[in-house]
Amino acid sequence: MRSAPAQIPTSFGHELRACLRFRLVKTYDQFRESGCENCPFFKMDEDNERVVDCTTPNFNGIISVMDPSRSWAARWLRIGRFVPGCYTLAVSEALPEELQNMCEEVHVQYVPPKRV
């Protein structure tokens, strides 16, 4: 194993949310309990409110990436360097500005989703 995979969603329904920055998909509760494996700096596990800000229930499609570094799909979607886990293909919402600033602080580039 290259890296520990992210938590796998425990359900597949409405509770699923996607991290706006890393597109990781988990349930609300999972985010609340352990945050997003890719972006600990958001500290979602410490601040439950943050979960709502950082994640969205509106996402499109799920991709389970077993082997991010060697998956073409993961590379294409620019998630090739994240931990293995379930991601979404696209989120449509942008990260709130406050959190975008936070990204900047830790030098994580943030590219808002392109509008169709």
Partner 1 sequence: MVRRFDDEDDDVEEEEYEDEEEQLLDDEDYDVDEDVGRGRGGSSKKRGRSDFIDDLAEEDDEEDEDDDDEDYGGGGGRGKRHKAPRDGSQFFDLEAQVDSDEEEEEDEGEDGFIVENGADIPDEDIGRRMHRRPLPLREDEQEDVEALERSIQARYARSSHAEYDEETTDVEQQALLPSVRDPKLWMVKCAIGRERETAVCLMQKYIDRVSDLQIRSVIALDHLKNYIYIEADKEAHVREAIKGQRNIFGAKIMLVPIREMTDVLSVESKAIDLSRDTWVRMKLGTYKGDLAQVVDVDNVRQRVTVKLIPRIDLQALANKLEGREVPKKKAFVPPPRLMNVDEARELHIRVEHRRDQLTGDYFHYIGPMMFRDGFLYKTVSMKSISAQNIKPTFDELEKFRTPSVKGEGEMVGLSTLFANRKKGHFMKGDAVIVIKGDLKNLKGWVEKVEEENVHIRPEMKGLPKTLAVNEKELCKYFEPGNHVKVVTGTKEGATGMVVKVEQHVLIILSDTTKEHIRVFSDDVVESSEVTTGVTKIGDYELHDLVLLDNNSFGVIIRIEREAFQVLKGVPERPEVSLVKLREIKCKLEKKFDVQDRYRNTVSVKDVVRILEGSCKGKQGPVEHIYKGVLFVYDRHHLEHAGFICAKAGSCCVVGGSRSNGDRNDSFSKIGNFKTPSRVPPSPRRFSRGGPPFDSAGGRHRGGRGGHDALVGITVKVRQGPYKGYRGRVVDIKGQSVRVELESQMKVVTVDRNFVSDNVVVSTPYRDTSRYGMGSETPMRSSRTPLHPYMTPMRDPGATPIHDGMRTPMRDRAWNPYAPMSPPRDNWEEGNPASWGTSPQYQPGSPPSRAYEAPTPGSGWASTPGGSYSEAGTPRDSGSAYANAPSPYMPSTPSGQPMTPSSGPYIPGTPGGQPMTPGTGLDAMSPVIGPESEGPWFMPDILVSVNKSGEETHGVILEVLPDGSCKVALGSNGSGDTVIALPSEMETVPPKKSDKIKIMGGSLRGLTGKLIGVDGTDGIVRIDDSLDVKILDLVILAKLP
Residues that bind partner 1 (CB under 8 A): 1-5, 8-9, 12, 14, 16, 28, 36-40, 52, 56-58, 60-67, 69-78, 80-86, 89-93, 106-109, 111, 113-116
Closer of 33 and 93 to partner 1 (Cβ): 93
Closer of 61 and 101 to partner 1 (Cβ): 61
Q: DSSP of the chain, one letter per residue?
A: --SPPPPPPS--STTEEEETTT-BEEEHHHHHHH--SS-GGG-TTT-HHHHHHHEES-EEEEEEES-GGG-HHHHHTT-TTSPSEEEEEEE-SPPPHHHHHHHHHTT----PPPP-
- Minimum Å distance from CB 33 to partner 1? 14
